[in-house]
Chain A
Amino acid sequence: MQADWSTFWPKVVDATGETVYMVLVTLALSAVLGMAVGLTLYATRKGGVLPNRLVFAVLNTLVNVVRPVPFVIAIVALSPVTRGVVGTMIGTDAAVFPMVVVATFGVARIVETNLLSVESGVIEAARSMGAGPLRILLTVLVPEALGPLVLGFTFMLVALIDFSAVAGTVGGGGVGNLAMTYGYLRFDTSVMVVAVAVLIALVQLAQLLGNALARKVLRR
């Protein structure tokens, strides 16, 4: 059966809107949470600005456990928690929850790695001026690592578009869901093509914006 394009286009627009919503909400939440976890990881490691063995070990293990799990498995594994938190297991909001969980730990690692690449000399300089650990984290490390951080967040954003499509195929909303219900289940190749094109466009847009922002921050 062929889709009726006059009723189909509004669906594409709606689905794209849902995808953008899922991705942006996830990005905002996971950026805040991931930043907090990443900063804590960085600060509490041995020789860090606020060393704490226990906190580091717990967070580090958590990141190492969550990160390698394939996203599809994570959705299923987290579904009882999702129902508890969101109240439902299907739809856009239900998709956002596992996305935030997985993305948070991804962002945390990105933040930690980029902070580690900041030269120790500038930290020493800030310490010599009397800066405390929190001041060093927020006014030295984050600004100094901002360029690579923006690129890291861009990488995460692209990954989230991918996640949202996966979430869509297993009951979430958005373009993935559209491709699944119309393209896959009703054997409509043209819908599939439209869905893929929308995803590609979104990824390109994200990458373009991210690169431009990073270039501005890095002044090149």
Chain B
Amino acid sequence: MLEIENLRGGYGQVEVLRGISMNIGEGEIVAVLGSNGAGKSTLNNTLSGIIPPIAGRISFDGKEITRARYTDIVAAGLIQVPEGRRVFPNLTVEENLELGSYLRGGVRRRQNIERVFAIFPRLKERIAQRAGTLSGGEQQMLAIGRGLMGEPRLLILDEPSLGLSPLLVEEMFALIKRLNEEGLTILLVEQNVGQSLEISGRAFVLENGAVVFSGTPDELLSNSDLKRAYLGI
């Protein structure tokens, strides 16, 4: 579904991604791991068209999107729930969700809002509250809900468990697993190595903007050098 070939990218003159190749098949859940500053978020934002790639190729659903505008990428169904949530603080919970279907899924907006409320009942209780006044965990729920409103074909989740209490982290991973079982393709960027590997079919490890491992969770967990060097476990 998503094919990345030799992707290089970064910020101005600073090259962060140094030739990344990976692929994600329909219905898969793929974990991207790596230490701070490895380039995970940079990869996400390059895929989403927020920062332009320097070289390489990205194709989604068989179409090349390497230099596509971010609007076209969202329209194609490649949707990212970013690191740090990035909800609209001055808009209400409901308005945030409505904007999730700004480009896609607009016809089923009401149904999808109900679906998000079924997943996150706490959001329903806070429907008219401004997003900026939500707790961190609630904001994370809202960010994911907003992402789902666009009826993603591929959902990129950038550290969805960051800042959540242990109980909520459990719930969050259970939810990600469930969404995947319902047919959603997911690219999961995480620091929480153990839990991510439990629900992922395959994993990539990034270090310094390059892929240093790709394979199944079992292969990764049985490679103690890699675990120690890059994942700290």
Partners in one complex: no
Q: Chain A: residues with CB nearer than 8 A to chain B?
A: none
